[in-house]
Amino acid sequence: MVDLKAKLGRNVGQLIQYRNDAWKCVRCGLCRMIDTADVTSDQFVDNCPSGIFHKFETFYPAGRHELIRCLTADPPELGYTEVLHKAIFTCTGCGYCQNLCNSFKGLQPTNSFQSLKDFANRKWGVRSEHNALIQSIINYDNPWLSPRKPRGTWARKVKDFKIKDAGKEKVEVLYFPGCNAAYVAEINPVAKATARILHLAGIDFGILGEKERCCGSTAFRVGAVDMFENYRRENIRQLNALGVKTMVTACAGCHSTFAHCYAGDLDFEVVHIVEYIERLIQQGKLKFRKELKDVRATYHDPCHIGRYSKIYDAPRNVLKAIPGVTFKEMVRIKENSLCCGSGGGVKSFDPNMALGVASIRLEEARLAAGANTVVSCCPFCEINLGHAAAGGDMKVVDLLQLVSEAMGE
Amino acid sequence: MPTGINTENLAIVLEKLQNAIGKQWVSDDPAHLASYSRDFTIVPGRWPNIVVLPGSTEDVQKIIKIAAEHEVPVVPMSTGFNHGGLCIPLHGGIMVDLIKRMDKVLNLDEETLTITIQPGVRNAVTYAMANHRCCVDDVPMAAAVSLSMGSTSTLANYIGRGIPGSEVKYGDSTEAIVGMTWVLPDGEILKTGTPAVPNVGIIPIAYGPGPDIGGMFINASGMFGICTEITIKLFPEKGKERLYIFDAKVKERSLEKALEFLIQLSQQALAEFIYKSHGGQTVNMIIDPDNPYPPGAMCEFLPEDPVIVSILGETEEELDIKEEILMDLAAECGLYALDMKGLTEQIFKGAPNPFERKARSQIGKAIGSVLRRGAFQWYSCNVKADPIPEMASKFFRLVEKYWKPTDPKISRHATMSGTDIQGPHPFARNFMFEVDFWWDQANPEDVKRAAVLLRKTGELILEHGAQPWRNMYRHGELHLPRLGTYLDILKQTKREFDPNNLMHPDIEPVTDDYI
């Protein structure tokens, strides 16, 4: 049965369920490029990150469909090779192909390639590149090989107000920073900025601190589906017990995972902070007191709040509201946004590809938008783009950092 | 020195190719071979032995020379989206992926109104570059090929006669070819057209001086070489345009009524573009996932043989006059214009400009949707007007006999099975006639039935004096033997150019040992 409304990341089934879809791919090539109606030149046209970097058809959706067809044949028409594995695990799960193809052909390429990862892990074992982060999630509830205790360290460094412990006090809103904000030094400021914004807006919020556990997104995206399911069940139990009305997160991955992979099982609304901020600005509860200098910004749509959650306008509205920021779009934006290259476990599996695609994205920011600052709302994007920008003139920042700076005080 | 398809020879060929164009662009890994083995036609898939991604004409030369030296077949591929099984390596060999690295616009010439491109430049890019970067007196330019997927190769559409009938008014796409660069089976370079003539360069005419051999390469499916560059004419997107869709007031004999209307429009050279579509296609153009009506039900109230007409004019007054003539003609033929506002919004939803290119890119998407399941084929020909109704009737009888969808709830109408007529050929009574057909690609029985139906359709077309648009599904077996001396010359040429029959062997029956 064709699901014309197949959502990205939801109800990802067994690989055999996608065999018919694999037959139906007509190799039209629309999934390789931005919407043909939006093409205005010969630049910034291509849109499959693994295809852009690796070039062979095998790394594009049509090629992966053929791999699915071969692997689900009886007997299978393909066995393990490094190239096969590479083609499977360099899909970032950006969702571009499914967003496009599902609307007129009913196929679910992204979901099927997610299933393909799960199939590969079961058949040939989890990749060594991913083993470490999966074990880390199991042992430490985060993919960063860091102990649990420092998870709340960023909050203890917030001195001008106290952040409530949602595990001990009843709060209206749970702020869920996620693993990146908690453990990655470049992303710590996002957690602090988010907390500060919520505080200044008078929101009754709290965090779980070191009791917070990974949303499981990383496990899911690298194809460790069983592990993710176990994690999901535990998280649902813990989070529902808090009695909050809203969960706010600044991580696009967490947002997408809670909003889609946990859909229907949570007793509260899941909101990305950028939508919250937009609301606060509209309600007059959030004011900017400082004008920023020399910020020629462009916005990079993260896949997980962009195509996955259709949040396109809120970050732009917020960015345009910040005094002193000049804003110009790139070419590949919104539904056409080019993935930063690091999703789906690619950052650890194929770091060359992750950096290569990120460099292409930064080049677009420079040439198409004349930007000196790339702004985004996803720590994975910011980490990867930041690595590619290192040593150059381009800055990569989270929108929250600009908001916090412009709020002054 | 070893030759042919065997382990020892292929290992040597692989190494030579890697040394010649770079190790990262050459592979014999089974995963790569599988991903290049199949398209969505009735032609069964077949793995190549090696896949290569050249980055330049010189790379292609090196590939072909190595292949020739070791007698290994070579099959070129662009997007791979073709309706004829034209990229399947029937005897293995080297698959040459021409679009992933050779994707540059080499020249956009405002003086000659031409564009020179590599195989990887897709229709949407060609259109955008011409339209946004090439103007004469503020009139933007465009390439002739439209009604084609924006994601497919312009070069391949021109030399392989992609989607037909798009700009019939300007001649078919091959007449807009100014020059080509070919790598021949011996690895030598051949340039055709005016760009090949020293001190002349690009002049936007279709043929060079003296006997022009460029035509030999058109529709040759790679059997005489590989095209690495093409220069094509651009045409003005002039004036204002209006679009109409007409339907028969009474559904009976709607095809005949539509045909008469098309004849009148052609003979009066009134329209820019005419496209008689069919109910199934219309359904799929407007279907959207939230529509509560299933395709079959929608066909009850949609046109069986809708006629899409576009007219051009310099001013609104000119368009008004043309519109009045158009409406009178339509009424004489028993047709009326549909409410464009609602239907246009539905059909061209999301396209900022509902006319011409952007509309066609939406049509291209709709065609690519192929009812969301299965594969889609078309068979097209040039034919005089008079046999069309009988051809359509016979085609439908073939469909009824051979078409059995996997899903019994899906009606013929909902499956894109129908006939199209495209034009105009100004002042003439002939058109592009096309039949469309759908099947479930995942069902081997369906594929077999489709193969039989398409074979019989090929025979039907030839019986009625139609000229096939191009070789589809290796149906050169049907039409080429009818050509007598023509085929003899082709065979001779093939022997001279490619004595070892390495360039896409058996894609056409032009060798005595054709399989």
pLDDT by residue (tens digit) across B405-440? 666 666 665 566 778 888 877 788 888 898 877 777
Mean pLDDT of A42-50: 96
Residues of chain A with Cβ-Cβ distance to B40 below 8 Å are 24-27
- Sheet containing A395-398: give its strands across: A325-327, A295-299, A373-376, A395-398
- B441 interface with A at CB cutoff 8 Å: yes
Per-residue pLDDT band at B352 (split at 50, 70, 90): very low
| pLDDT, position B252 | 86
By Cβ distance, the residue of B79, B129, B133 closest to A27 is: B79
Residues of chain A with Cβ-Cβ distance to B368 below 8 Å are 26, 28, 30, 104-105
Cα separation of A65 and A400, whole Å? Answer: 39
Lowest mean pLDDT among A21-25, A255-259, A307-311: A21-25
Does the pLDDT of residue B403 top 70, yes or no? yes
Can you read off the two tokens belonging to residue A387? 């690595």
By Cβ distance, the residue of B30, B51, B441 closest to A23 is: B441
DSSP, collapsed to helix, strand or coil, labels residue B274 as strand
| pLDDT, position B425 | 76
Cα separation of A386 and A401, whole Å? Answer: 14
The percentage of residues in chain B with a pLDDT greater than 70, rounded to a whole number, is 83
Does the pLDDT of residue B325 top 80, yes or no? yes
Q: Are B338 and B227 in contact (CB under 8 A)?
A: no
Q: What are phi and psi of A241, to 5 degrees?
A: -70, -15
Q: Are A86 and A297 in contact (CB under 8 A)?
A: no
Q: Following CA atoms B220, B508, B494, B214 in sequence, which dihedral angle do they give, to the nearest 10 degrees?
A: -10
Cα separation of B327 and B265, whole Å? Answer: 11
Interface of B with A in 334-373 (CB under 8 A): 350-352, 358, 361-362, 364-366, 368-370, 372-373
Tokens 């590599």 correspond to what residue?
B118
Radius of gyration of chain A (CA): 21
Per-residue pLDDT band at A402 (split at 50, 70, 90): very high
Per-residue pLDDT band at A372 (split at 50, 70, 90): very high
By Cβ distance, the residue of A5, A40, A66 closest to B132 is: A40
Per-residue pLDDT band at A278 (split at 50, 70, 90): very high
Q: Please give, rounded to a whole number of angstroms, the shortest distance from the CA of B209 to a CA of chain A.
A: 33
Mean pLDDT of A93-104: 88
Cα separation of A197 and A220, whole Å? Answer: 30
Q: What are phi and psi of A299, to 5 degrees?
A: -110, 130
Cα separation of A200 and B29, whole Å? Answer: 58
Does the pLDDT of residue B290 top 90, yes or no? no
Closest to B156 (Cα-Cα) out of B87, B54, B62 = B87
By Cβ distance, the residue of A26, A70, A103 closest to B34 is: A70
Q: Please give, rounded to a whole number of angstroms, the shortest distance from the CA of B133 to a CA of chain A.
A: 8
Does the pLDDT of residue B88 top 70, yes or no? yes
Does the pLDDT of residue B460 top 80, yes or no? yes
| pLDDT, position B238 | 66
Lowest mean pLDDT among A80-84, A110-114, B55-59, B376-380: B376-380
Bigger pLDDT: A360 vs B361: A360
Cα separation of B31 and B52, whole Å? Answer: 14
Q: What residue of A is the nearest CA neighbor of B125?
A: A42
- B444 interface with A at CB cutoff 8 Å: no
Lowest mean pLDDT among A76-85, A317-326, B359-368: B359-368
Residues of chain B with Cβ-Cβ distance to A124 below 8 Å are none
Q: Would you call B365 and A2 a contact, using CB atoms and an 8 Å cutoff?
A: no
Per-residue pLDDT band at B369 (split at 50, 70, 90): very low
Q: How many Cα atoms within 13 Å fall on the side-chain side of residue A221?
A: 29
CB atoms < 10 A from the CB of A40, how many? 17
Does the pLDDT of residue B355 top 80, yes or no? no
By Cβ distance, the residue of A40, A62, A63 closest to B128 is: A40
Mean pLDDT of B144-153: 74
Region at B238 (left for phi over 0; alpha for psi -120 to 50; beta for the rest): beta
Q: What residue of A is the nearest CA neighbor of B132?
A: A40
pLDDT digits (tens, 9 = 90+) for A219-271: 999 988 888 888 899 999 999 999 999 999 999 999 999 998 898 899 999 99
Mean pLDDT of A155-175: 92
Q: Please give, rounded to a whole number of angstroms, the shortest distance from the CA of A75 to a CA of chain B.
A: 15
Tokens 């579509």 correspond to what residue?
B277
pLDDT digits (tens, 9 = 90+) for B17-50: 999 999 999 999 999 999 999 887 788 889 999 9
CB atoms < 10 A from the CB of A124, how many? 13
Does the pLDDT of residue A1 top 70, yes or no? no
Most B CBs within 10 Å, among A17, A30, A99, to test the B interface: A30
Cα separation of B146 and B142, whole Å? Answer: 9
Long-range contacts (CB closer than 8 Å, 24 or more residues apart) made by B30-33: B30/A78, B30/A79, B30/A81, B30/A83, B30/A84, B31/A58, B31/A67, B31/A78, B31/A81, B31/A83, B31/A84, B31/A87, B32/A56, B32/A57, B32/A58, B32/A83, B33/B95
Q: What are phi and psi of B94, to 5 degrees?
A: -100, 120
The sign one gets for the Cα dihedral A128, A129, A134, A140 is positive
Cα separation of B10 and A396, whole Å? Answer: 48
What residues pair up with A165 in beta bridges, in sequence order? A207
Does the pLDDT of residue B79 top 80, yes or no? yes
Q: Are A2 and B407 in contact (CB under 8 A)?
A: no
Mean pLDDT of B376-387: 86
Mean pLDDT of A31-54: 94
| pLDDT, position B165 | 46
Mean pLDDT of A363-379: 97
- B29 interface with A at CB cutoff 8 Å: yes
Can you read off the two tokens belonging to residue B373? 């399941």
Mean pLDDT of A96-122: 90
Does the pLDDT of residue B221 top 90, yes or no? no
Residue type (1 letter), B410: I
Cα separation of B421 and B385, whole Å? Answer: 10
Regarding beta strands A295-299 and B273-276, do their DSSP bridges make them parallel or antiparallel, or are they unpaired? unpaired
The percentage of residues in chain A with a pLDDT greater than 90, rounded to a whole number, is 70
Cα separation of A85 and B446, whole Å? Answer: 32
Mean pLDDT of A349-377: 97
Per-residue pLDDT band at B95 (split at 50, 70, 90): very high
What residues pair up with A74 in beta bridges, in sequence order? none
Mean pLDDT of B51-79: 97
Per-residue pLDDT band at B392 (split at 50, 70, 90): very high
Q: Please give, rounded to a whole number of angstroms, the shortest distance from the CA of B499 to a CA of chain A.
A: 31
How much is the mean pLDDT over chain B? 83
Q: Please give, rounded to a whole number of angstroms, the shortest distance from the CA of A173 to a CA of chain B.
A: 34
| pLDDT, position B413 | 58
Residues of chain B with Cβ-Cβ distance to A42 below 8 Å are 103-105, 121, 125, 128-129
Residues of chain A with Cβ-Cβ distance to B80 below 8 Å are 27, 29, 57, 62
- B94 interface with A at CB cutoff 8 Å: no
The percentage of residues in chain B with a pLDDT greater than 90, rounded to a whole number, is 42
Cα separation of B474 and B469, whole Å? Answer: 13
Does the pLDDT of residue B367 top 90, yes or no? no
End-to-end CA distance of chain B: 27
Bigger pLDDT: A380 vs B136: A380
Cα separation of B498 and B504, whole Å? Answer: 10
| pLDDT, position B402 | 81
Mean pLDDT of B348-372: 45
| pLDDT, position B333 | 94
Closest to B13 (Cα-Cα) out of B56, B102, B74, B55 = B74
Per-residue pLDDT band at A26 (split at 50, 70, 90): confident
Per-residue pLDDT band at B277 (split at 50, 70, 90): confident
DSSP, collapsed to helix, strand or coil, labels residue A272 as strand
Task: Return the number of CB contacts < 8 Å for A and B.
Answer: 159
Bigger pLDDT: B14 vs B344: B14
- B458 interface with A at CB cutoff 8 Å: no
Regarding beta strands A373-376 and A325-327, do their DSSP bridges make them parallel or antiparallel, or are they unpaired? unpaired
The sign one gets for the Cα dihedral B239, B240, B242, B243 is positive
